[in-house]
Chain A
C-alpha cells in the first residue's frame, strides 16, 4: 500500500549530489512531494529530507540506491508516526482588509499565524505546522484577498534516532584499500606491439 514516507539522507556537501539523488526518483517516475537540504547535527555533514508517496518495498529499494551513491553516508525512511515534522508557510494579505475585518485577526490567531512584516499595503504572516494546518489557512484567507502563498519543504526529526555523531565514527573507520595490479605483458611492451 502506498503511503507517505519521509526519507532522511546524511551526505557529504558536494556539488551535483542533489542531482544524483533526484534522478534516482525521476528515473523510476516517482514524484518528490517535498525536498529540503540543510546542515545536520554534525558539522560538515548535510541532511536531505525528502517526502514521497510509495509502498514500503519501493522506499526501501530507493534508500539502498541512494546509499549506493559515493557521497551519501546513510539514508533512513520513516512513516509519519515515526517523525516529528514541520513545514513553514508564508501568506501575504492586504493590510487594509485585515485592519477592517476583526474576524480575520481572530482567524489568524486561531491558526497560530505570526506577523513577519506589516506594511501599509500588505502584511506577511507565517505559520509552522503540518500540511493540513497550513493548507487550512489558505482556504481561510482566500476570501480576504490572499496575494501570495509559499510553503517550505518538510523538515523532520526521527523520534527514535540518537543523531549521527556515533554513526559517523563507523564511517570514519578505515579499511585497507586494494592494490593495483600490474600488467605483466605490457611491461614487455615493445616485444608485444609496435607502433
Chain B
C-alpha cells in the first residue's frame, strides 16, 4: 500500500510537460519529427511492440510490407537515392536483421542514407542464444556508418536523432539502431524530440582550406588539357548547379562515374561519357593524356582506375572530397580540396578563368567517333536479326525523352543501360555501383517509385538478377507502386559468361541459367506483362509498358552471347581499353 502511494507521488511530481509513452511510440514520434512518411519493413516477434504502435500511426506513416528484409533495405536505398531523403527500414531480430546485411553493405559502399530499426530480444536475454537472437551490432559494424543498441526507452529520442543526423550528414551512410523488446515496451517520461545537430566527436564536413582551393585554381588556369571526372558526391552534396557552373565556366570536358551519372544531363556538350571498365573509350584513354585531372566527389574505385600504376601518371591530380579518408587512398593527389563540393565548387569557380579547349575537346569527339564506328552503331542499330540490349535502351530513350528514373540491377544490362540511357535530370540513375548486388533493382525500383512518383520508374534487370528478388512482385501487387519492369533476357549470366569467354577460354561454368515464364509469374502476382523476341514488336511493347497505368513487366529476348564493349580488361591500364573481342 505504501509503495503504491509513493509511486503515485513520484508520478505527480514529474513536470507537467512530460507524458508517459512507450519506447515504441517514441520511435514513431522520432520518425515523424524527422519528416519520415514512408517505411519499408517486415514485422516479427522482437519488433512487435513497434508494429503495435504503428497500428495507431498508420494514417501518418506509410508502411510498405515487403516480402523479404533485403527487399526492404534496397527499397529504402532506392527511395533515398531519388528523393535525397533518409530511407527507413523496420526489421525484426535474428534472421530479420541478418537479411539486411547485403543492403547495408550496399548502402555503405554507395554512401546511401538509410536508418534501420531492428527489434532485439529482451535485454535480460542478450547473450543467452535466445530465440531469434543474433549479435546484430557486431554483425553490422563493418557495414554501417554507425550502429547502436538501445536497452532503455529513455535513450530512444536522442539515439534516433543521432541516427538520422549521422545517416544524412557528411558522407551519408547506413545506420542500424537495435532496440531490445523491453525498451520498446517500457513506458518513460517523454520530454519531446530534439533534433541532433552536433556530435562532439563527429565532423561531417572537413573545414575548407582556402589555400588549397587557390592552388587548385592556379593549376586549372595553367592547364592545357584539363579533365574533370565526377562521382556521386555532386549528387549527394546537392551541388548539381554549382558543378554545372564550374564546368561551363572552365570549359573542361567532364566524364562521370557510374554513381555520378545524371548529376549532369547526359547530353551536355561538355559531358564526354562514362568512366570505368565498360565506360566510354575517350574518357578512359584520355585520362592518361590530360595534364590536370580534377576529381570531384568520386573515390577512384578500381573499376574506374584499372591498374593504378598505369593511371594518370602524367597528370597533376586535384581531388575534391568531403571524406578525408578518400584523399590519397588510391590515387595520390597533387592538391587535395577537402570539403563539401557545394561549398568548394563555387569558391573554385570564382577563381578560375573562363576558357574553352576546342582542340582538347575534339580529341574526345574523335574517340567518340571511333567508339561509334566500332561499337555503338551496331549496338544501337544492329544489322543482325537478334535484338541487342543497346537498341532496347535507345527505343526507351525515345519514349521517355530521358525523363525516367532508370533503376538497374548488376551485369551486362547494367553496363549497357548506363552507357546508353539518356538522363536529363539529377537522381535519375539508381544502381548498385560499389557492391554490385544482383537482385538490387526490383526492390530499389519500388523504393524509387515512392521517392518520386511524378516520374516513370523503369527497372532494367537481367534474367539472373530478377530471379534473386522476384518475391517483391508481391509488394507491388499489394501496394501498387508503379514500376515498369524490363527484363533483358539473354538466357545467361551474361557478364560472367563474357569473362569466361574472353579470359577463361570459353569454359562456360554455370552461367547457363533457365528462367520461368516471367509473364506468367507476373500474372500470378496480378501484374500485366508481355514477352517479345522480335524487333518489330519492340517499340509498341515499350509504349504499352510505359502507358499502362499500373506496374508492367516486359521481357525482351536479346542476343545470347553479345558482349559489352569497350572494356578495360582487369589488370590493365585505362589506356589499354579495347573496343572489340579481337583486341582483348
Residue positions of A touching B, CB distance < 8 A: 11-12, 15-16, 19-20, 23, 27, 60-61, 64-65, 67-68, 70-73, 168, 171-172, 174-178, 180-183, 185-187, 189, 192-195
B residues near A15, Cβ cutoff 8 Å:
149
Residue positions of B touching A, CB distance < 8 A: 34-35, 37-38, 62, 83-86, 137-138, 141-142, 145-149, 164-166, 168-169, 195-203, 205, 323-325, 327-329, 450-454, 478-481
Classify the interface of chain A: helix, strand, loop or mixed: mixed
> Is A70 a contact of B197 with CB atoms below 8 Å?
no
Residue of B nearest to A182 (CB): B35
Q: In the bound complex, how far is the Cα of B203 from the Cα of A192, in angstroms?
A: 39
> Is A72 a contact of B142 with CB atoms below 8 Å?
no
If the complex has contacts A64-B325, A185-B452, A193-B453, are A70 and B202 also in contact, measured as CB distance less than 8 A? Answer: yes
If the complex has contacts A19-B138, A61-B329, A70-B166, are A185 and B324 also in contact, measured as CB distance less than 8 A? Answer: no
If the complex has contacts A64-B325, A183-B85, are A189 and B37 also in contact, measured as CB distance less than 8 A? Answer: yes
B213 to nearest A CB, angstroms?
Answer: 19
Jot down 27 A-B pairs with beta carbons below 8 A, ordered by A. A16-B141, A16-B147, A16-B149, A64-B325, A65-B325, A67-B324, A70-B145, A70-B202, A72-B201, A73-B201, A175-B197, A175-B198, A176-B197, A177-B165, A177-B169, A180-B85, A180-B168, A181-B85, A182-B35, A183-B35, A183-B37, A183-B451, A185-B454, A186-B37, A186-B38, A186-B450, A187-B37
Q: In the bound complex, how far is the Cα of B165 from the Cα of A172, in angstroms?
A: 16
| Known interface pairs A12-B200, A182-B35; 18 further A-B residue pairs with C-beta atoms within 8 A, sorted by A's residue number | A11-B201, A16-B148, A19-B141, A61-B328, A61-B329, A64-B324, A64-B329, A70-B146, A70-B201, A73-B201, A171-B201, A175-B198, A177-B198, A180-B35, A183-B83, A183-B451, A185-B452, A186-B62
If the complex has contacts A23-B142, A171-B201, are A61 and B84 also in contact, measured as CB distance less than 8 A? Answer: no
> Is A71 a contact of B201 with CB atoms below 8 Å?
yes
> Is B325 a contact of A181 with CB atoms below 8 Å?
no
> Is A67 a contact of B141 with CB atoms below 8 Å?
no
Q: When A and B form their complex, which 7 residue pairs have the shortest distance between CB atoms, in order from nearest? A: A177-B197, A64-B325, A180-B35, A186-B37, A174-B198, A192-B453, A70-B146
> Is A67 a contact of B169 with CB atoms below 8 Å?
no
Option from B62, B149, B205, B478 in Cβ contact (under 8 Å) with A189: B62
Option from B142, B149, B169, B479 in Cβ contact (under 8 Å) with A178: B169
A residues near B37, Cβ cutoff 8 Å:
183, 186-187, 189
Q: In the bound complex, how far is the Cα of B145 from the Cα of A72, in angstroms?
A: 12
Q: In the bound complex, how far is the Cα of B148 from the Cα of A181, in angstroms?
A: 25
Residue from A68, A181, A195 with most neighbouring chain B CB atoms (10 Å): A68
> Is A12 a contact of B201 with CB atoms below 8 Å?
yes
B residues near A177, Cβ cutoff 8 Å:
165, 169, 195-198
Q: In the bound complex, how far is the Cα of B328 from the Cα of A183, in angstroms?
A: 37
> Is B325 a contact of A180 with CB atoms below 8 Å?
no
B residues near A194, Cβ cutoff 8 Å:
480
Q: In the bound complex, how far is the Cα of B162 from the Cα of A177, in angstroms?
A: 11
Residue of B nearest to A44 (CB): B200
Q: In the bound complex, how far is the Cα of B146 from the Cα of A168, in angstroms?
A: 21
Q: In the bound complex, how far is the Cα of B325 from the Cα of A176, in angstroms?
A: 23
> Is B166 a contact of A180 with CB atoms below 8 Å?
no
Q: In the bound complex, how far is the Cα of B291 from the Cα of A163, in angstroms?
A: 43
If the complex has contacts A61-B325, A171-B200, are A180 and B86 also in contact, measured as CB distance less than 8 A? Answer: yes
> Is A27 a contact of B201 with CB atoms below 8 Å?
no
Residue of B nearest to A22 (CB): B141
B residues near A27, Cβ cutoff 8 Å:
142
Option from B137, B323, B481 in Cβ contact (under 8 Å) with A16: B137
Q: In the bound complex, how far is the Cα of B200 from the Cα of A105, in angstroms?
A: 52
> Is B200 a contact of A181 with CB atoms below 8 Å?
no
A residues near B147, Cβ cutoff 8 Å:
16
Residue from B83, B169, B323 with most neighbouring chain A CB atoms (10 Å): B83
B residues near A64, Cβ cutoff 8 Å:
324-325, 327, 329
Q: In the bound complex, how far is the Cα of B168 from the Cα of A174, in angstroms?
A: 17
A residues near B84, Cβ cutoff 8 Å:
181
Residue of B nearest to A63 (CB): B325
> Is B34 a contact of A180 with CB atoms below 8 Å?
yes
B residues near A178, Cβ cutoff 8 Å:
168-169
Q: In the bound complex, how far is the Cα of B479 from the Cα of A51, in angstroms?
A: 55
B residues near A171, Cβ cutoff 8 Å:
200-201, 203
Option from B137, B452, B479 in Cβ contact (under 8 Å) with A193: B479
B residues near A192, Cβ cutoff 8 Å:
453
If the complex has contacts A27-B142, A177-B165, A185-B454, are A68 and B325 also in contact, measured as CB distance less than 8 A? Answer: yes
> Is B141 a contact of A23 with CB atoms below 8 Å?
yes
A residues near B201, Cβ cutoff 8 Å:
11-12, 70-73, 171
B residues near A185, Cβ cutoff 8 Å:
452-454
A192 to nearest B CB, angstroms?
Answer: 5
> Is A180 a contact of B164 with CB atoms below 8 Å?
yes
Q: In the bound complex, how far is the Cα of B145 from the Cα of A186, in angstroms?
A: 27
Q: In the bound complex, how far is the Cα of B202 from the Cα of A177, in angstroms?
A: 12
A residues near B454, Cβ cutoff 8 Å:
185
Residue of A nearest to B205 (CB): A175
B14 to nearest A CB, angstroms?
Answer: 28
Q: In the bound complex, how far is the Cα of B169 from the Cα of A175, in angstroms?
A: 12
B residues near A183, Cβ cutoff 8 Å:
35, 37-38, 83, 85, 451
Residue of B nearest to A62 (CB): B325
B residues near A61, Cβ cutoff 8 Å:
325, 328-329
Q: In the bound complex, how far is the Cα of B203 from the Cα of A72, in angstroms?
A: 10
Residue of A nearest to B202 (CB): A70
A residues near B451, Cβ cutoff 8 Å:
183
A residues near B195, Cβ cutoff 8 Å:
177
B residues near A68, Cβ cutoff 8 Å:
323-325
A24 to nearest B CB, angstroms?
Answer: 9
A residues near B198, Cβ cutoff 8 Å:
174-175, 177
